Chain A
Amino acid sequence: MIELEKVSYTYPHTVQPALHQLSLSVKKGRCVLVTGPSGAGKTTLCLAAAGILHHEYGGRKEGRVTIEGRDVSGYATLSELAQMIGIVFDDAEAQMIFTTVEEEILSALEHRGLEAQVIEERLASIMATTFLAELRNRSPHHLSGGQKQRVALAATLALGNDVLILDEPTSELDEHATRRIVEILNSLKAQGKTLLLVEHKYAHFKDMVDTLVVLEAGSVIAKGDPEEVLKDERIKRIVIPDFRGVRSSHLTPAVTDTAAKSPVVTVQHLSHAYGDVLALDDISLDIHAGEFVAIVGENGSGKTTLVKHFNRLLSPTGGDVIIRGKNTKASTITDLARHVGLVFQNPDHMFFADTVKDEIEFGLKNLGISDGDRIIDAALEDVGLMHTKHLYPRWLSRGERQRLAIACVIAMSPSIIVLDEPTTGLDGNEARLVMEILKGLQNKGHTIIVITHNKEIAQHCADRIITMEKGKIISDSPAGGR
């Protein structure tokens, strides 16, 4: 179906090739899963395999890409390629064009030259396959991440193509939403569709993958039957994150006895409502200095809403939040920023400076620290980004940007560091590196609070796991294996 022969590609205005002598064959009815570190060229590979690179992008291209035996350059337009290939990009939100779920799918169906009756039948069938029937009149902007991904997938399925290319379809999804996507893709494979998947969650897809491809710096470093490929320990660490041993690494006695210390975060009967929707329902908890807490739960369970109260981005509808002995109602967000650092899920929401150094300096200036060179160097050293000090933040890979976001916060030296899904979009090695950095910060005396969908992280890195469901805490217990 798709053949890439010694494909090399360099983006315009860059020197380093994004793909280097890459050869890959995706056979009909097979599922190929591509993984690798961020910045390895996975998205570029998707664009190359869909023929988009040869049509829409400039830059230097070498090698040959064929779809159904025909060179992609031979296809006149992207619209012609769209008759053969369906592609779902990683940013689901950017693929929502219309204003209701049904309209989104119907609009894609209308351009396939089908009879009106067939369109209605196919619409109903796609809605059922992707579990979207109940959401048909909802605005895509009001859907959860998982629901948006399903809509983007459904609109692509509407095209009825046999080849589907999916770029990280589950990156921001929780366990439940990921399982739904896996379920859908499984049934598509059973229908004989050819799938090229870029994913970091190999474990979820392992039953359907025929070929596993690992990319690094634009080249294939491993390819073949998953079991064979994973025999190599180095490769395995990239594909499957292994957080074992993070908790016990460099543990200093000073932070082991947390219970005796006074709490740094106290939440008392906290409720929060968005309009009529109760997002937090009578939450009470204490977090002590030096603790490493994981907050787990499905999307929409109230995790992010809870932590936004710690630095007063949200104010309680009812109840109180006390940070280091002071009620947040009596503090400003700027004051709280000295004590609570919050790293959001998407690091791109904060970067605006011209260099990595300036980006970190921004936070320091906000706190009135003018001569921060030593602090900036120390923060960059902590996250292993010293070599990027004078680079433009947005040129860094996703993994590096995530670490830079952490550096921006730790430079401000807050005693409490809160991170929302810090391993999104990272490969096994990068995810472990981030967790080790956090562990190091805990050992230096910081209190670490991590929101995560990933149970492995909670079990192997945190001291304590708080599980939330529908705005309530349903369990709060020490992590296993202590």
Chain B
Amino acid sequence: MAEILQYVHKDGFFHRLTPVSKIVFIIVISLMCIISINLVFLAGLVVAVLLLAYISRLHREVLQQSKLILIMSIVFIIITLITMPNGTTIGYLIPEGVPLLGGSIPITQGAIEIGLILTFRFMILIFAFQMFLLSTQPRDLVHTLEKMRMPMDYILMFIIALRFIPTLQIEGNRIHEAQLARGYNPGTGFIGKIRSVAPIVVPLVSNALIRSTVLGLTIDMRGYRTGKRTHVRESTLKPGDYGVLFAMVIASCGYIVLFMNQVI
């Protein structure tokens, strides 16, 4: 089973960068996509991030979330169609021929645009964060955040939150199988999901709590919280890093200029 948001050992462009460069990359890209409302620019940014994922040999992992993103984008567009009708009406979500409700939700160009803007923003954020997490070993991340003067306990909390994702994923599957073997048939769809909550979530949470106690003790007993550390195999800035940092500076400047001139 593929693990979500976990480091994968590879030798790619993004893997070779130091966490600092990647953090700068994430910050610049995130700010750009959050501030911008230009559809073409956002679409370009999606393509650029995917291209970078391809160069870094991470495209397969990154695209694993396509299904989730597709569902999310449909939800976004439906919500914006209902809540933010704006501009030319192209058609109706419920055809006009349908009695009573027919023609009540207009499909407007403005609403579609806003829906797409939200979708592109989320795609960029999800892809960029995924690339960061897939290519950075938690150990390097700890060191970088430590250098950024983040308190050790907060860093460990962040690392553990990430680390629990595959554990819960694997554990959830095992519990689901165990309950199915007991003849449990919650049904499919939304109602099924609601009904299956207790038999799956109760063991999942109970086991995770026990596990987190052991994990906490392990962190203490391996001395991770002592604060003293020998610096081994520290990542140093390499030509690739300078390239990325330089590119980010240029991109930021270019973005500000275009933004000021109301081009994007």
Q: Determine if A155 and B222 form an interchain contact, defined as CB atoms under 8 angstroms apart.
A: yes
Contacts A94-B214, A394-B206 given; does A350 touch B183 at CB 8 Å: no
Interface size class of B (residues with CB under 8 A): 35 or more
Q: Determine if B139 and A103 form an interchain contact, defined as CB atoms under 8 angstroms apart.
A: yes
How many A-B pairs with Cβ below 8 Å? 179
Closest approach, in angstroms, between the C-beta of A172 and any C-beta of chain B?
13
Report the Cα distance A412→B229, complex, angstroms.
56
For B235, the chain A residues whose CB sits under 8 A away are none
For A308, the chain B residues whose CB sits under 8 A away are 177
Contacts A119-B230, A333-B181 given; does A97 touch B223 at CB 8 Å: no
Near A by CB (< 8 A), chain B positions 49-93 give: none
Q: Determine if B163 and A97 form an interchain contact, defined as CB atoms under 8 angstroms apart.
A: yes
Partner of A95, one of B142, B183, B202, B215: B215
Report the Cα distance A341→B180, complex, angstroms.
10
Q: Determine if A110 and B218 form an interchain contact, defined as CB atoms under 8 angstroms apart.
A: no
Number of interface residues of A (CB under 8 A): 69
Near B by CB (< 8 A), chain A positions 306-332 give: 308, 311, 313, 332
Closest approach, in angstroms, between the C-beta of B103 and any C-beta of chain A?
43
Q: Mark B204-224, 1 if CB is under 8 A from A, else 0.
A: 001100111011011111111
For A50, the chain B residues whose CB sits under 8 A away are 221
For B221, the chain A residues whose CB sits under 8 A away are 50, 52, 78, 81-82, 85-87, 156
Contacts A82-B221, A350-B175 given; does A111 touch B229 at CB 8 Å: yes
Partner of A114, one of B137, B166, B230: B230
For A351, the chain B residues whose CB sits under 8 A away are 202-203, 206
Q: Determine if B222 and A159 form an interchain contact, defined as CB atoms under 8 angstroms apart.
A: yes
Asked if B228 lies at the interface with its beta carbon under 8 angstroms from chain A, I say: yes
For A412, the chain B residues whose CB sits under 8 A away are 182-183
Stretch at the interface among A202-210, A360-368, A467-475: A360-368
Asked if B96 lies at the interface with its beta carbon under 8 angstroms from chain A, I say: no
Q: Mark B162-180, 1 if CB is under 8 A from A, else 0.
A: 0100110011001101111
Asked if A213 lies at the interface with its beta carbon under 8 angstroms from chain B, I say: no
Report the Cα distance A103→B224, complex, angstroms.
13
Q: Mark A151-189, 1 if CB is under 8 A from B, else 0.
A: 000011011000000000000000000000000000000
For B98, the chain A residues whose CB sits under 8 A away are none
Report the Cα distance A116→B231, complex, angstroms.
7
Stretch at the interface among B2-10, B21-29, B112-120: B2-10
Q: Determine if A98 and B222 form an interchain contact, defined as CB atoms under 8 angstroms apart.
A: no
Asked if B151 lies at the interface with its beta carbon under 8 angstroms from chain A, I say: no
Q: Mark A111-128, 1 if CB is under 8 A from B, else 0.
A: 111111001100000000
Contacts A79-B226, A350-B178 given; does A97 touch B183 at CB 8 Å: no
Asked if B246 lies at the interface with its beta carbon under 8 angstroms from chain A, I say: no
In the complex, the chain B residue whose C-beta lies closest to that of A103 is B139
Closest approach, in angstroms, between the C-beta of A196 and any C-beta of chain B?
14
For B203, the chain A residues whose CB sits under 8 A away are 348-352
Contacts A141-B166, A333-B180 given; does A348 touch B206 at CB 8 Å: yes
Contacts A99-B137, A352-B202 given; does A337 touch B6 at CB 8 Å: no
Partner of A366, one of B178, B183, B207: B183
For A107, the chain B residues whose CB sits under 8 A away are 139, 142, 222, 224
For B185, the chain A residues whose CB sits under 8 A away are 332-334, 366
Near B by CB (< 8 A), chain A positions 272-331 give: 308, 311, 313
In the complex, the chain B residue whose C-beta lies closest to that of A95 is B218
Q: Determine if B178 and A120 form an interchain contact, defined as CB atoms under 8 angstroms apart.
A: no
Closest approach, in angstroms, between the C-beta of A260 and any C-beta of chain B?
30
Closest approach, in angstroms, between the C-beta of B225 and any C-beta of chain A?
6
Pairs across A and B, CB under 8 Å, 26 listed:
A78-B220, A79-B225, A82-B221, A93-B211, A94-B211, A94-B212, A94-B218, A95-B218, A97-B159, A100-B7, A109-B230, A115-B230, A116-B231, A139-B3, A141-B6, A141-B170, A155-B222, A156-B221, A159-B222, A311-B180, A337-B183, A341-B181, A346-B174, A348-B203, A350-B203, A363-B182
Q: A337-B181, A351-B206, A362-B184 are in contact. List 4 more A-B contacts (CB 8 A).
A: A91-B211, A109-B230, A119-B232, A138-B9
10 A-B pairs closest in CB distance: A337-B183, A352-B202, A366-B183, A99-B7, A94-B214, A78-B220, A111-B223, A342-B181, A94-B211, A349-B178
